[in-house]
Amino acid sequence: MITENIIGYQSSSLSRRYIDATDPATMTTLPEAFAVATAEETDMVAEKAFKAWRLYRNISGAQRAAFLNEIANGIEALSSELVTRIMQETAYPEARVIVERTRTCAQLRMFAHEAERGKWNEQTIDAAIPDRSPSPRPELRKRMIAVGPVVVFGSSNFPLAYSTAGGDVASALAVGCPVIVKAHDSHLGTNALVAEVILGAARKTGMPDGVFSSLNGDSMHTGKQLVQHPLIAAVGFTGSLKGGRALFDLGQQRPIPIPVFAEMGSVNPIFIFPGKIKENVQALATQLVSSMTMTAGQFCTKPGILIALQDPHTEQLISELKAALEKVPEASLLNEGIFKSFISGVSEMKAENEVMVMRDFYSSGNLRTSPVLATVPADSFLSNPRLHHEVFGPFSIIVLCRDIAQIIAVATTLEGQLTASIQATNEEMDTLRSLVEILIEKAGRIVFNGVPTGVEVCEAMTHGGPYPASTDYRFTAVGHHAVYRWLRPVTFQNFPPAGLSV
């Protein structure tokens, strides 16, 4: 395990200061200490990445594909060493880690395929019209160019799939952008293991020095230096609204502003209609509870708000939800910061007017918690914006509405969302056009008779939504189209073939 900062093919620990990783299940310090990056090391990675960009953006898609495939192979080869470390750093059960590893490697191979296929790089061509009057048209060819070095801030909840070799990194590497990862404080060892795999793959496939780097550091300090560095071209971030907005502001306030793609989560409302409850209340409750509590509710697509009519069907659903939640065991949250935010978030929600607790908080110690469920009448919800915010972790609230008009009113007052879902029969859906219209304004993905968790990695995915779900809803953080975040068009006018081949 490389415990130093990784500056291209070089390791470095100029600060001689070290930070530890913690096992959240036991709150004990894990083996190995990790060197904190200095400002000088930040300069070094940015300069190496910039130099690497000039080479890396021009190598073939097949070569970049070989690099990404080799990373996937390397992650699989690490086998139990990696799985164990992730379990230690996240308190995730083994099955959850294995699923994430599968997803991560599939994602790397998908972006490898994209790198080779180069669909994103297809040229748009307007042929010359030499005899056009009054003036001839020159030939114009537009193609996509890698924007430059990309800084990635990994997520707390996806130590593999949205971190060191995750979606942001793989999509940037696929199209020719070198990457600098700011290691997440919650999984420094996982980062070190995966970074070593990436370096090995880069060496084996002959990638330029600086195509990948990774710094450990005091989160905002090192992160700020990276985002403000003049040689950095773009930033990917997955995490909290507070952290994402801070990085976004830093990026926009630079002398030369750069795009900061921050995916900041949301409450992912599910609108539930009586016909659907009647169909099979138990199946619905099981599906909802699974989505609310998987990975201890620590998904950016966790449904934090359910909206339903105040009627006997909903009462029945609530009692089924309560019953299902009773069976969900306590689970450890990812780190002390998340645990404390969860506790204070739940306490604040419980203290709000007319909020009723259906399933209360329980903890047998350390960072463990039960899931929490509450209800609130729509009148209170509509007049209280504090109830609209996300509580990260296993907390959801049911908003009880007088009628369909009040359901629409609730939808209209919601903030921007990654997702919004409708649970309804086909007959009910036929009457819900105005709700769908509101949800189009609010969310990046709209789900019918399903739950928002389980984000497909595919071409038609949109993972991103109106602010505060993300800082740029024109792009997706998941799926094939994620590569467009790291590309810009350049037009070549009247170019000879030799000039175009660069």
Residues that bind a copy of itself (CB under 8 A): 54, 58, 123-126, 135, 137-138, 140-142, 145, 148, 248-249, 252-253, 256-257, 259, 416, 422, 426, 429-430, 432-433, 436-437, 440-441, 443-450, 454, 456, 458-462, 466-468, 471-474, 476, 481, 484, 487-496, 498-499, 502
Distance CA 38, CA 150 (A): 19
To a copy of itself, the closest distance from the beta carbon of 438 in angstroms equals 9
User: Which listed residue (116, 263, 320, 390) is catalytic?
Assistant: 263
For residue 31, whether the previous peptide bond is cis, meaning omega lies within 30 degrees of 0, is no
Q: Which two tokens stand for residue 114?
A: 């994209």
* 426 neighbors 273 (Cβ within 8 angstroms): no
Q: Which is nearer to a copy of itself, 158 or 248 (CB)?
A: 248
To a copy of itself, the closest distance from the beta carbon of 203 in angstroms equals 25
To a copy of itself, the closest distance from the beta carbon of 208 in angstroms equals 14
Fill in the DSSP letter of residue 163: I
Paired with 151 in beta bridges are 180, 235
**Sheet-wide strand order for 179-182:** 10-12, 5-7, 212-215, 179-182, 150-153, 234-238, 260-263
Q: Which two tokens stand for residue 183?
A: 């290691």
Kindly give, in sequence order, each residue whose CB lies less than 8 Å from that of residue 498, ignoring residues fewer than 6 positions away: none
Q: Residue 330 catalytic?
A: no
Q: Which is nearer to a copy of itself, 340 or 474 (CB)?
A: 474
Q: Which is nearer to a copy of itself, 126 or 354 (CB)?
A: 126
User: Which listed residue (300, 320, 390, 401) is catalytic?
Assistant: 300
Paired with 226 in beta bridges are none
Q: Which residues of 216-243 are buried (b: 16+ CB within 10 A; e: fewer)?
A: bbeeeebbbbbbebeebbbbbbbbbbeb
- 153 residue type, one letter: F
Distance CA 75, CA 90 (A): 18
Within 10 A of 3 (CB to CB), how many other CB atoms are there?
16
User: Exposed (0-12), middle (13-18) or buried (19+): which is 498, by Cβ within 10 Å?
Assistant: exposed
Q: Residue 4 catalytic?
A: no
To a copy of itself, the closest distance from the beta carbon of 303 in angstroms equals 14
* 273 neighbors 425 (Cβ within 8 angstroms): yes
Q: Which two tokens stand for residue 346?
A: 């739940």
Distance CA 192, CA 186 (A): 12
Q: Which is nearer to a copy of itself, 194 or 487 (CB)?
A: 487
Q: Which is nearer to a copy of itself, 214 or 419 (CB)?
A: 419
Distance CA 420, CA 81 (A): 38
Q: Which two tokens stand for residue 409?
A: 């009113």
Helices 80-90 and 188-204 cross at an angle (nearest 10°) of 150
Strands 270-272 and 305-309: parallel
Q: Which is nearer to a copy of itself, 34 or 237 (CB)?
A: 237
To a copy of itself, the closest distance from the beta carbon of 228 in angstroms equals 15
To a copy of itself, the closest distance from the beta carbon of 123 in angstroms equals 8
Q: Which is nearer to a copy of itself, 54 or 204 (CB)?
A: 54
Strands 124-126 and 395-401: unpaired
* 271 neighbors 435 (Cβ within 8 angstroms): yes
Distance CA 101, CA 148 (A): 28
Q: Which two tokens stand for residue 92?
A: 């995730």
Q: How far is CA 485 from the centre of its chain?
A: 14
Q: Which two tokens stand for residue 398?
A: 């049911």
Q: Which two tokens stand for residue 278?
A: 């009647």
| Distance separating the N- and C-terminal Cα atoms of the chain | 38
Instruction: Catalogue the active-site residues.
Output: 263, 300
